[in-house]
């Protein structure tokens, strides 16, 4: 086994070059890993914010559904009140500033002054 000094020198240069390249690649991978960890941390914060927003929106949605149900229970009562008012309105007719019930009775808007003339 002969030791060729040029062969040993060539092997040392190759190994040193490989180690330098490996060191550079490890540094690059480490930088990428740190960047990915930072991005992951930011995304976790965004996810937490989104979950909080969803929770808030769900609470608002629940409150709105309760309000809708409450309003819907009032619809029949308001429809009945509207029908009653329409019927009441149809019972009167206006003539010369006075309202008369359709059954013939006078409904006074102002008291009639004695000796006043009514011009119609």
CB 9 within 8 A of CB 17: no
Q: d(Cα 50, Cα 41) in Å, to the nearest integer?
A: 14
Per residue of the chain (120 residues), what is the pLDDT tens digit?
Answer: 556 666 766 777 777 677 777 788 888 988 999 999 999 999 999 999 999 999 999 999 999 999 999 999 999 999 999 888 887 766 767 767 776 666 655 555 555 555 545 555
């Amino acid at each position: 086994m002969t030791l060729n000094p040029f062969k040993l020198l060539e092997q040392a240069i190759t190994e040193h070059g490989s180690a330098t390249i490996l060191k550079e690649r490890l540094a690059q991978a480490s930088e990428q890993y740190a960047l990915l960890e930072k991005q992951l941390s930011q995304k976790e914060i965004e996810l937490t914010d989104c979950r909080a927003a969803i929770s808030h929106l769900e609470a608002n949605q629940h409150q709105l559904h309760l309000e809708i149900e409450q309003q819907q229970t009032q619809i029949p009562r308001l429809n009945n009140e509207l029908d009653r008012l329409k019927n009441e309105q149809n019972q009167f007719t206006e003539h010369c500033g006075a309202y008369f019930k359709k059954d013939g009775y006078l409904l006074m808007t102002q008291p009639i002054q004695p000796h006043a003339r009514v011009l119609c």
